[in-house]
Amino acid sequence: MPYSLRPVTDADCLWLWSLKRATMKAYVEQTWGRWDDAEQADRFRSTFVPGHVQIIVTEGQDAGLLHLERSAEEIYLVNLQISPDFQNRGLGTEVMHGLFTEARTGKVPLQLQVLKVNPARRFYERIGFAVVGETATHYRMRWTPEISP
């Protein structure tokens, strides 16, 4: 599924909040026992930094978000959220293939964490990530490119 990335603007805040609610509410409830809309909205607004997030666009529509932190040592996937309307259509896989190319070029691993209750763990394992650690609530995962000398 072809896609492009565009910068987030302040105007995207409401859509991104709706996306977070649609993609994360059930997992937050399963992990911490509740989802409080007002509390979650306040937390979202206080941590909303448009410069680090990109909107995934496909078929002329905003379809998800990609939040990365890059360093000389790694690419850290802070967040990948795909709108339910675009899930299970290959979009997440396409986005991850782009990150694999970037990681190979930079000769750095990709790292992430995923809630233990989130079935996305199986997706990440299927595309080559391995669990390298865990906390009470999350798995830490890594994908390392094969690098030839």
The answer to the question of residue 133 being in a domain is yes
Instruction: List the domain range (segments joined by +) for residue 132.
Output: 4-143
Give the pLDDT confidence of 4-43 residue by residue, as tens digits.
999 999 899 999 999 999 999 999 999 999 999 999 999 8
Q: How confident is the model at residue 51 (pLDDT cuts 50, 70, 90)?
A: confident
pLDDT at 149 over 60: no
Burial (CB < 10 A; 0-12, 13-18, 19+), residue 58, is: buried
The answer to the question of residue 39 being in a domain is yes
The answer to the question of residue 62 being in a domain is yes
Q: Which residue has the tokens 């905003």?
A: 62
The answer to the question of residue 130 being in a domain is yes
Cα separation, 37 vs 95, whole angstroms: 29
The answer to the question of residue 148 being in a domain is no
Which CATH number does the domain housing residue 48 bear?
3.40.630.30
pLDDT at 147 over 80: no
Total structural domains within the chain = 1
Structure letter (DSSP) for residue 103: H
98-104 contacts: CB < 8 A, separation 24 or more?
Answer: 99/68, 99/75, 100/128, 100/143, 100/145, 102/75, 103/75, 103/143, 103/145, 104/145, 104/147
Q: How confident is the model at residue 47 (pLDDT cuts 50, 70, 90)?
A: confident
pTM of the model as a whole: 0.92
